[in-house]
């Protein structure tokens, strides 16, 4: 457990550190055997918005990180720390103010189905059935009409929604809607999955079910996954690596590799230990946010 990689690394202090690169001190960082080139990378990315009153607000400050192909990364941080902004930049919905956001070494192109996104709300289209929603996504990526129904049903069965294929989104529970959104995202066979607190509005029970289901479905073909959450247990349960973000403006504070074998379950002792560690750090950051809000 106490190898080098398991100790928290203050990411912000080594902004240019890349796997396999020689750092300023002349030390070459080891290249993990399974990693060739990063699938996604952020190089000193900052994003500044204009608030409604026209004042600049820095959402993300000087963020650097890599995501290896097939890696499941969770970004964890207090609310308002810029997690969603990081994700929107990865999705191609938002442009960084400075720095480079790359996919396969090239600047991230505009939003496209090669990066599927799960939002906090399921974002299903209410005028279509559940199956219709999935088939619509398949149509957009050019799947011939004859194959759409089969492919949609295959994915709906993976998230246990076969019986509800012809129901409309409003007829399902919140958890089922989010599962439908997951099926819609996966059906398009994306290279990268992005998720913005997709289980944030679910009750604890539905949440655990979905995490379990997500872990299972993801393990089938191990797509590169960036998952944003403020729930430590969720992050540790799902991720290969957890990145902790600071109070706003968001910077990366540390990373934790989670080596617990999969499939994992909540009762795992290792998971509990890492959760406790990270929790301490996160509480500090949340305290900072609260102190600032009260101070104002």
Q: What are phi and psi of 173, to 5 degrees?
A: -75, 165
Q: Does 113 bind other proteins (CB under 8 A)?
A: yes
Extract the tokens encoding 103. 């996919």
Q: Of 91, 152, 153, 238, which lies in the binding site for other proteins, with binding defined by CB under 8 A? A: 91
Say how far apart CA 163 and CA 273 lie, in whole Å.
39
Task: Write down the least CB distance from residue 269 to other proteins, Å.
Answer: 23
Q: Which 8-state DSSP code applies to residue 87?
A: H
Q: Of 45, 188, 245, 253, which lies in the binding site for other proteins, with binding defined by CB under 8 A? A: 188
- Comparing CB distances to other proteins, the nearer of 73 and 134 is 134
203: how many CB neighbours lie within 10 A of its CB? 11
CB neighbour list of residue 31: distance below 8 Å, 6 or more residues apart: 19, 20
Q: Within the chain, what is the greatest distance between any pair of CA atoms?
A: 61
Q: Does 169 bind other proteins (CB under 8 A)?
A: yes
Q: Of 96, 175, 198, 249, which lies in the binding site for other proteins, with binding defined by CB under 8 A? A: 175
Task: Write down the least CB distance from residue 54 to other proteins, Å.
Answer: 16
Q: Does 217 bind other proteins (CB under 8 A)?
A: no
Task: Give the H/E segment covering residue 41.
Answer: strand 40-50
The one segment of 33-41, 58-66, 118-126, 269-277 that binds other proteins by CB under 8 A: 118-126
Residues in the chain: 296
48: Cα within 13 Å, side-chain hemisphere: 9
* DSSP-assigned beta bridge partners for residue 169: none
Give residue 292's Cα distance to chain centre.
27
Residues 130-149, mask of contacts with other proteins (x by CB under 8 A): ------xx--xx--------
Site size toward other proteins (CB under 8 A) is: 40
Binding site for other proteins (CB under 8 A): 91, 93, 110-113, 115-117, 119, 121, 123, 125-127, 136-137, 140-141, 160, 163-164, 166-173, 175-176, 184, 188, 194, 205-206, 209, 212-213
């Amino acid at each position: 457990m106490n190898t080098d990689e398991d100790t928290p690394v203050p990411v912000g202090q080594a902004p240019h550190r890349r796997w396999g690169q020689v750092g300023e001190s002349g030390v070459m960082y080891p290249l993990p055997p399974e990693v060739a080139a990063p699938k996604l990378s952020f190089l000193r990315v900052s994003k500044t918005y204009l608030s409604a009153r026209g004042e600049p607000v820095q959402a993300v400050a000087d963020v650097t990180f890599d995501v290896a192909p097939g890696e499941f990364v969770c970004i964890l941080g207090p609310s308002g720390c810029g997690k969603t902004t990081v994700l929107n930049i990865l999705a191609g919905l938002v442009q960084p103010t400075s720095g480079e956001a790359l996919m396969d070494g090239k600047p991230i192109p505009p939003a496209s189905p090669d990066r599927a996104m799960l939002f906090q709300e399921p974002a299903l289209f209410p005028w279509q059935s559940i199956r219709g929603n999935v088939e619509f996504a398949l149509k957009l990526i050019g799947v011939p009409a004859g194959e759409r129904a089969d492919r949609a049903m295959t994915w709906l069965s993976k998230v246990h929604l076969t019986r509800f294929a012809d129901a409309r989104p409003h007829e399902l529970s919140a958890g089922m809607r989010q599962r439908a959104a997951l099926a819609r995202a996966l059906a398009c066979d994306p290279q990268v999955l992005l998720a913005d607190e997709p289980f944030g509005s679910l009750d604890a029970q539905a949440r655990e079910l979905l995490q379990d289901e997500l872990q299972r479905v993801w393990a089938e073909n191990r797509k590169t996954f960036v998952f944003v959450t403020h729930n430590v247990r969720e992050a540790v349960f799902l991720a290969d690596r957890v990145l902790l973000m600071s109070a706003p403006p968001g910077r990366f504070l540390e990373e934790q590799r989670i080596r617990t074998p999969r499939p994992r379950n909540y009762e795992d002792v290792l998971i509990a230990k890492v959760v406790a560690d990270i929790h301490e750090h996160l509480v500090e950051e949340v305290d900072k946010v609260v102190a600032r809000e009260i101070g104002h």
